[in-house]
Amino acid sequence: MTASSMLAALADVGRDPARGGYSRPVFAPAELELREWFVAEARRLGLDVETDRNGLIWAWWDAPGRPRTNAVATGSHLDSVPGGGAFDGPLGVVSALAAVEQLQAIGHTSDRPIVVVVFPEEEGSRYGVPCLGSGLLTGTISADRALSLKDEYGDTLAELLDRNGIDPARVGPDPDAVRRIGAFVELHVEQGRGLVDLAEPVAVGRSIIGHGRWKLRFEGHGNHAGTTLMSDRNDPMIPAAQTVLAAETAARAVPGARATVGKLVPVPGGSNVIASTVDVWLDVRHPDESTLAPLVAEISAQADRLAIAAGCRTQVSCESYSPAVHFDPDLIRRCREILPTAALLDTGAGHDAGVLAPYTPSAMLFVRNPSGVSHSPEEYAEDDDVDAGAHALTEVLAKLSATA
């Protein structure tokens, strides 16, 4: 099957009529259905499928009895943000399967195993920490911290994994699994405008800019919206709203910076209630970490000042931080030799390839997205570009696996 026809087969899984697009939180029914679909497709291709102790799925194409070392790995994720697009994640997974199918069809042989990997909770939309699966695999996040994370229903990751047949006691770094990978190439839909104006559908990734998420909690005094005079209020919504604006102003003053508040939760959240607390999630990114840290510090200091002025208090906690990642120069060079017309792109989005990069040579391929929009139902790729991306990945896997 082609990558575009596989994507078409998944078009009805996890549609979100309220938000538009798709909502596929990790281990919710839609994502579980995609995981089952992946296992069935991998078995159709004769791959040996295993789910590891952190919930990653590995589908191996290799000769029986050969050691699983120096593998050429590819893959991506199947979870989505709330109301996300059809391509972010699944495109890399279907392209990997289509590439293996194509290599099988042309009788490709290699001493080097090829393995397709599916990473759980890449978006962090359920537990707040992106790239949780690759983070657990590599030890970038500790098992204790991960297992105690709670989703919006109060379910811990430990409880969720347990319900899905993964023993929480065995969750944690898996250096033996990482060591099996000799190179990792993740294909992904482009999430910005980098390829829109170029004549080529595919780019090779060069770097991921530094990024992090911070939770700012504003604490005030919950009260009645009608009986509490304006002069008597300690309303945390006021400094929270002012901080949203302050973050925007601060980021606009720093070239290359991006600051976003995409989520704000007032408690208790009644339309006739002054909130007692407001939680604000701040996402900040910049190519240069020495610029990113002072920018976050400035926004946090502003939040403090604004809270004090409103008679409120703040607590700031870092939920995740990923320094800038520069993909493996030698692997980038190989990919560009194989795909000589492909552009070279930096990306502002985090990826599992970025988490793996310090541990094994990693690189990425990007596929043109004519909307330039992602994490939205508008995210898009033409069928021809989808199949061109899968073809590029096929070439890369063929050449990389041909030499040890």
Q: Give the binding site for Zn ion (CB under 5 A).
A: 88-89
Q: Which is nearer to Zn ion, 121 or 174 (CB)?
A: 121
Closest to Zn ion by CB, 250 or 345: 345
DSSP three-state, residue 195: coil
Q: Is the dihedral of CA 254, 315, 313, 240 positive or negative?
A: positive
Indicate the residue among 91 and 307 with the shorter CB distance to Zn ion.
Answer: 91
Beta carbon of residue 77, minimum distance to Zn ion (angstroms, whole number): 6
Using alpha carbons, list the distances in angstroms from residue 34 to 12, 31, 89, 118, 376.
Answer: 11, 5, 11, 10, 19
- As measured in angstroms, the least distance from the Cβ of 62 to Zn ion is 27
Give the shortest CB-364-to-Zn ion separation in angstroms.
Answer: 10
Cα–Cα distance measured from residue 394 to residue 95, given in angstroms and rounded to the nearest whole number: 8
User: Closest-CB residue for Zn ion?
Assistant: 88
Structure tokens at 81: 């943000």
Q: With CA atoms as reference, report the closest residue to 115 among 55, 160, 178.
A: 178
Smallest distance, Zn ion to C-beta of residue 124, A: 11
Q: What token pair was written down for 304?
A: 């403090």
**Which is closer to Zn ion, CB of 158 or CB of 364?**
364
For the CB of residue 188, give the shortest distance to Zn ion in the complex, in Å. 6
The residue (of 125 and 242) whose beta carbon lies closer to Zn ion is 125
Q: Which two structure tokens, joined as six digits, stand for 403?
A: 């030499």
Q: Alpha-carbon distance 321 to 331, whole Å? A: 25
Which tokens belong to 163? Answer: 């319900």
Residue 252: C-alpha distances to residues 171, 246, 248 (Å): 41, 10, 6
Quick check: bond before 268 cis, omega within 30?
yes
Cβ 186 to Zn ion, closest distance in Å?
Answer: 9
Is the Cβ of residue 41 or residue 88 nearer to Zn ion in the bound state?
88
Half-sphere exposure of 369 (CA within 13 A, CB side): 25
Of 94 and 295, the one with the shorter C-beta distance to Zn ion is: 94
CA dist list (Å): 320 to 152, 212, 214, 265, 309:
17, 5, 7, 19, 29
Beta strand ranges found along 225-276 (DSSP E): 258-267, 273-274
Residues 6+ apart with CB under 8 A from 300: 214, 216, 314, 316
Q: Return the number of other C-beta atoms located less than 10 Å from residue 18's C-beta.
A: 7
CB of 120 to Zn ion, least distance (A): 12
Nearer to Zn ion (CB atom), residue 52 or residue 190 = 190
- Closer by beta carbon to Zn ion, 89 or else 133: 89
CA distance 201 to 193: 12
Select from 245, 202, 228 the least CA-distant residue to 366: 202
Distance of alpha carbon 200 from alpha carbon 385, whole angstroms: 9
Q: How far is the CB of 89 from Zn ion (least distance, A)?
A: 5
Three-state secondary structure call for residue 294? helix
Minimum separation from the CB atom of position 3 to Zn ion (A): 16
Identify which of residues 24 and 233 has a Cβ nearer to Zn ion in the complex.
24
Cβ of residue 245: shortest distance to Zn ion, in angstroms?
Answer: 29
CB of 145 to Zn ion, least distance (A): 22
In the complex with Zn ion, the residue whose CB is nearer, 172 or 370, is 370
